[in-house]
């Protein structure tokens, strides 16, 4: 039980700014307060501080620009990823055969890997942007991010969810959510706490990686259509080289373009913010 | 007009002089009122008083009895003294001729 109070105390203390955290911790030591008393005192202080922070625009911006649009999009993409791999897995595990997708196995698994890496990248970068922009409201905005995502993931409103649950494969979407969304998002929030990660060249390469993965993920969206066209003409499964020739990037639908833009935008915003900071630091001419 | 808790903090800070900081103010208020004083309430009120220009706070030196942590030192400014004086005078004026002994008028015990 005392470990719980200690953990709660540490979590609450972390939400205060460093100077206040030090002064308050020192006061608690000097007043010889128990962990339970400390937690009770801190709850009031943290709530008052949070209320003050939420009077500013930035936490609301994070909520409206990241949490609300990003969570359902990540959940939809994760569902689509599961939807793509599920028949292949069932066919392989239960019937020992390959599920014909119109793509050669290397092409199919390359497409799956690219989409999985893109989804993990978006989860990581969106959570990184959320952590960077939230600062001391991270416990609320981060909690809402994970809570909203889980609400969508467990909602079981998607037809794929229903099929999977009835078939006894309920672990698959949850496992995929954990691997490709929740785990990377947790790491992204953790990394956003480290000031050394907010340096210009590093953030630039991170944004470049995000854009690259977004473009590749957009391209893989056209593979299914190319495979379908090829199958209707009676052609064999398409290889990666053939896809480079047949898959037309112009056939990416506007909805997925918008999805990719919404998921990439938070990292671009962080890049712009870090670049402006970098430029203003360089503009300061040393006196002497 | 100051609030009651704001007045208590200003008065305790003036009494403590150069040794006024979070824990010391809490102890001073608790010994005077014989009631618990919350650190959370204290720090929020200190912020409010500082925003009103009645006090000044700064981080002091770390001390061993606090586990090497710094104190948030407090000093009352002229505006704070003025407000506390006005509050004290108002309480004194309104209390003049008032008896708090239990009686037919229904005073407090």
pLDDT of residue A206: 92
Give yes or no for A15 touching B (CB within 8 A): no
> What percentage of chain B has pLDDT greater than the value 90?
68
pLDDT of residue A246: 74
pLDDT of residue B108: 47
pLDDT of residue A220: 87
Chain A nearest-CA residue for B72: A23
Residue B109 pLDDT class (50, 70, 90 cuts): very low
Which of A27, A29, A48 to probe by mutation at the B interface, max B CB count within 10 Å?
A27
Contact A41 B59 (CB under 8 A): no
pLDDT of residue A271: 92
For chain A, which ranges sit under pLDDT 70?
Answer: 1, 96-99, 156-170, 284-288
- This prediction's pTM: 0.76
Whether ipTM > 0.90 holds is no
B78 pLDDT exceeds 90?
yes
Chain B nearest-CA residue for A48: B44
Give yes or no for A44 touching B (CB within 8 A): yes
Mean pLDDT of B42-49: 93
Give yes or no for A19 touching B (CB within 8 A): yes
Instruction: Please give the backbone phi and psi of residue B72, each rounded to the nearest 5 degrees, phi first.
Output: -95, 100
Instruction: Please give the backbone phi and psi of residue A32, each rounded to the nearest 5 degrees, phi first.
Output: 50, 45
- Compute the distance between CA of residue B57 and CA of residue B25 in angstroms, rounded to an integer: 13
Chain B hits for A26, CB-CB cut-off 8 Å, are 22-23, 62-63, 66-67, 69-71
Give yes or no for A108 touching B (CB within 8 A): no
Contact A31 B26 (CB under 8 A): yes
pLDDT of residue A194: 82
Distance from CA of B38 to the nearest CA of A (A): 6
């Amino acid at each position: 039980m005392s470990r719980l109070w200690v953990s709660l105390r540490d979590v609450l203390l972390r939400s205060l700014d460093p100077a206040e955290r030090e002064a308050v911790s020192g006061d608690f030591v000097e007043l010889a307060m128990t962990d339970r008393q400390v937690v009770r005192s801190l709850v009031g202080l943290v709530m008052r501080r949070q209320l003050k922070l939420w009077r500013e625009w930035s936490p609301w911006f994070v909520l409206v620009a990241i949490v609300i649009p990003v969570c359902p999009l990540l959940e939809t993409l994760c569902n689509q990823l599961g939807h793509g791999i599920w028949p292949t897995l069932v066919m392989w595990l239960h019937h020992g055969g390959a599920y014909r997708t119109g793509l050669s196995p290397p092409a199919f698994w390359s497409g799956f890997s690219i989409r999985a890496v893109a989804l993990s990248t978006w989860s990581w970068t969106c959570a990184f942007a959320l952590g960077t922009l939230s600062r001391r409201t991270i416990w609320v905005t981060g909690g809402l991010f994970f809570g909203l995502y889980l609400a969508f993931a467990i909602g079981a409103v998607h037809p794929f969810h229903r099929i999977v649950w009835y078939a006894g494969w309920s672990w698959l979407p949850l496992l995929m959510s954990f691997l490709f969304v929740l785990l990377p998002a947790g790491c992204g929030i953790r990394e956003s706490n480290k000031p050394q990660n907010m340096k210009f060249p590093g953030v630039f390469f991170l944004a470049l990686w995000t854009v690259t993965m977004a473009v590749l993920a957009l391209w893989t969206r056209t593979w299914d259509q190319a495979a379908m066209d090829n199958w209707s003409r009676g052609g064999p499964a398409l290889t990666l080289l053939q896809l480079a020739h047949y898959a037309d990037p112009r056939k990416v639908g506007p909805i997925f373009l918008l999805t990719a833009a919404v998921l990439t935008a938070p990292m671009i915003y962080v890049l712009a913010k870090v670049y402006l900071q970098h430029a203003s630091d360089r503009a300061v001419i040393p006196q002497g | 007009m100051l609030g009651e808790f704001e007045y208590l903090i200003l008065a305790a800070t003036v009494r403590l002089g150069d040794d006024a900081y979070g824990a010391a103010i809490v102890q001073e208020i608790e010994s005077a009122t014989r009631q618990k004083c919350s650190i959370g309430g204290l720090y929020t009120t200190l912020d409010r008083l500082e925003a009103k220009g009645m006090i000044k706070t700064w981080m002091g030196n770390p001390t061993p009895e606090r586990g090497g942590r710094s104190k948030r030192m407090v000093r009352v400014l002229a505006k704070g003294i003025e407000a506390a004086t006005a509050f004290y005078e108002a309480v004194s004026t309104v209390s003049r001729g008032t008896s708090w002994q239990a009686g037919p008028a229904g005073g407090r015990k």
